[in-house]
Structure 1
Amino acid sequence: MDDVIIIGGSFAGLAGALQLGRARRKVTVLDTGLPRNRFAGHSHGLLGHDHKPPLDILAQARQQLARYPSVKLVKARADRVSGALDDFSVLTDDGESLGARRLLLSYGVSDQMPDIPGFAECWGKSIVPCPYCDGFEVAGQHWGLVWSGPQAMHAVSLFHDWTDRLTLFADGHEISADERAELARRNVPVVDGRVAEIGHVDGQISAVNLDTGRAVAVDVLFAHPRNRPSANLHETLGLEVVDTPAGIALKVDERRETSVSGIYAAGDLANPMASVTLASSHGAMAAIFAQQSMLV
């Protein structure tokens, strides 16, 4: 039996495996090899790895974990999870049954692309969600922002640290008179109508085409499509969740433990503020607290 089974081997999962391996705990990491940021050419803001392709960072992390004999990396999907504290069972998609005293869920989320031609092709390249991740590379250029609710007003003020050229696309949503007045004060034009198509060349956006027939050229578009967990294991385990503007996230305490004793969660699955730095930090925290919970 393992001490910990980690389900999901991206930044959070591998960071957790590193801490547990260094504590000489027996760990199995199950991973499908499909991290959320695989569409991005570069990952930003991770100390020591800034502006490196995320898949390269993960490959290097897996190589470094090879020096820890108690850590086993397995390319497999966890199909079923059951059990309780000190006796969890995981069944993989190839029929293997594994047991562990603790679980660390880090299988992330999947972004749900809207049914807009060109959107998916530009996702992670010139349509992005996070200015901290990609803002520096396009600073000073003409940014577009798709309205996704009241949080868009916060984004408008935030974005001014990177650019003074911002256009807001209402995308068919109602924007109040007070909000429009504030946008006008900030010199942010509002374009009404629904986004009908994204004009692009090989994933590089050229224009946002609207159902009104208008086309607005931008250099980058910030959008926040809904997301959902990449697996439903949390549902079968009965874990509590919280609603966020982008989707649901697993509810965790300050030790990264979920509502079920012995099950921890980290990464985008348990934090709506997507960041490789935060995912790595929370993965390490969850692993350390899982290890400490097994002390005798």
Structure 2
Amino acid sequence: MQNDDADVLFDAIVVGGSYAGLSAAMQLARARQRVLVIDAGVRRNRFATHAHGLIGQDGRPPEVIAEEARAQVLAYPNVRWRHGSATQASGRSEEFVVEVDDGSRRRARRLVLATGIEDELPAIDGLRERWGRSVFHCPYCHGYELDRGRIGVIAVGELSMHHGLMLPDWGTTTLLVNAAFEPSDEQRAALARRGAVIEPARIARVDGIATVVFEDGRRIDFDGLFVATRTRVNSPLAGQLGCEFEQGPLGAFIRTDALKATSVAGVFACGDAARGAHSIAFAIGDGAQAGASAHRSLMFD
């Protein structure tokens, strides 16, 4: 739905139409607010074939979940949808201006940023092609389906100890150090207590489903690989508006309070761009809170 709405002052513009943004838009729509969703159509989990750990939707293709949610939100007559990237944001509470990549501008009293993040993978041949299919970041999202099989953790630094200690609950775990760090004696002992083993050789590439080929020519077949990606908020809007950021172990994210309000009055943020831990379930909950909080601010602030 892309009506000519350039002259409309929306009650809220939601930037990002994935799980968090749709959840926020739903709350605002049901509060009978005029809502515009601006979305470029690039979901973070677009590489995954199935979504897991989401009550009522376990095992369904993520694109189906997102499309059904979009249809439900757009069934509300007070919601408009704009396909495109929001490139600029300015203004202040009651009069924000968002520019879209076609050069058009939209105005709103409140903003909800649900822009998502991008994953930066280690520079290992074959890793990106398997991202979301046999290379993962979240054990809770993908660990169960490996059926207690062979799991490799590709280290990116000491942070990867977290994966190494967690994943033995999901399968036989090998920490592939890959010269990313040198485990201390205490860390080696902790891994041993959990039944995880350490492989020190450097990785040359990933083949097959999840076969790690080392520089010395050896190969180890795994059923799945886990890696802690670096993440970055994939939109400049929060920075343009002056929102504060928080530095997490994987990267910076937008700082919010318990109601998902940012440091800028009238601007709310939700989903992966505004938290350190990520999943569809977290994103939906965040979005519901952000949408309800934006509505309450329209009433009481």
Q: TM-score range by the shorter chain?
A: over 0.9
Q: Which residue in the other structure is 2:269 paired with?
A: 265
Equivalent-residue separation in structure 1 for 2:251 and 2:124 (angstroms) = 20
What count of residue pairs does the alignment treat as equivalent?
291
Equivalent-residue separation in structure 1 for 2:219 and 2:249 (angstroms) = 28
CA deviations on 1:144-194 (whole Å, 9 max, x unpaired) are 11223444333333223322x111111202211221122223332111133
Query: Equivalent residues in 2 for 1:68-79 (5 A)?
Result: 68-79=76-87
Question: Shift of the alpha carbon at 1:217?
Answer: 1.6
Q: Which residue in the other structure is 2:4 paired with?
A: none
1:278 aligned residue (271, 282, 300): 282
Question: Shift of the alpha carbon at 1:276?
Answer: 0.3
Question: What percent of counterpart residues are identical?
Answer: 39
CA deviations on 1:119-146 (whole Å, 9 max, x unpaired) are 0111000000111101111121011112
Query: What is the identity, as a one-letter code, of the residue corresponding to 1:291?
Result: H
Q: Which residue in the other structure is 1:231 paired with?
A: 235
Q: Which residue in the other structure is 2:136 paired with?
A: 128
1:186 aligned residue (191, 194, 199): 194
CA deviations on 1:59-105 (whole Å, 9 max, x unpaired) are 11111123211111111110110001111000111111110011000
Query: What is the identity, as a one-letter code, of the residue corresponding to 1:286?
Result: A
TM-score scaled by length of structure 2: 0.93
Equivalent-residue separation in structure 2 for 1:31 and 1:198 (angstroms) = 34
1:63 aligns with 2:67: no
Query: What is the identity, as a one-letter code, of the residue corresponding to 2:281?
Result: T
Q: Which residue in the other structure is 1:240 paired with?
A: 244
Question: Shift of the alpha carbon at 1:115?
Answer: 2.1
Query: What is the identity, as a one-letter code, of the residue corresponding to 2:242?
Result: G
The DSSP-based 3-state class of the residue aligned with 1:293 is helix
Q: Which residue in the other structure is 1:217 paired with?
A: 221
Long gaps (5+) in structure 2: 1-8
Question: Shift of the alpha carbon at 1:274?
Answer: 1.0
Query: Equivalent residues in 2 for 1:21-40 (5 A)?
Result: 21-40=29-48
4+ residue runs over 4 A deviation: none
Cα–Cα, structure 1 residues 155 and 117, in superposed 2: closer, same or farther, change >3 Å?
A: closer
Q: Which residue in the other structure is 1:145 paired with?
A: 153
Kept after mapping to 1: 8 A contact 2:165/2:196: no
Question: Shift of the alpha carbon at 1:55?
Answer: 0.7
Question: Shift of the alpha carbon at 1:195?
Answer: 2.2
Query: What is the identity, as a one-letter code, of the residue corresponding to 1:168?
Result: L
Equivalent-residue separation in structure 2 for 1:216 and 1:44 (angstroms) = 27
The DSSP-based 3-state class of the residue aligned with 2:59 is coil
1:99 aligns with 2:107: yes
Equivalent-residue separation in structure 2 for 1:26 and 1:212 (angstroms) = 61
Query: How big is the alpha-carbon RMSD for the aligned residues of Structure 1 and Structure 2?
Result: 1.3
Long gaps (5+) in structure 1: none
1:171 aligned residue (170, 173, 178): 178
The DSSP-based 3-state class of the residue aligned with 2:112 is strand
Q: Which residue in the other structure is 2:59 paired with?
A: 51
Kept after mapping to 1: 8 A contact 2:212/2:220: yes
CA deviations on 1:214-259 (whole Å, 9 max, x unpaired) are 3222110011121111111122122111111211111000110111
Question: Shift of the alpha carbon at 1:33?
Answer: 0.4
Query: What is the identity, as a one-letter code, of the residue corresponding to 1:253?
Result: D
Equivalent-residue separation in structure 1 for 2:73 and 2:193 (angstroms) = 52
Question: Shift of the alpha carbon at 1:112?
Answer: 1.4
1:289 aligns with 2:297: no
Equivalent-residue separation in structure 2 for 1:156 and 1:118 (angstroms) = 21
Equivalent-residue separation in structure 2 for 1:209 and 1:175 (angstroms) = 22
Question: Shift of the alpha carbon at 1:23?
Answer: 0.6
Q: Which residue in the other structure is 1:251 paired with?
A: 255
**Structure 1 residues 23-32 or 151-160, which shifts more?**
151-160
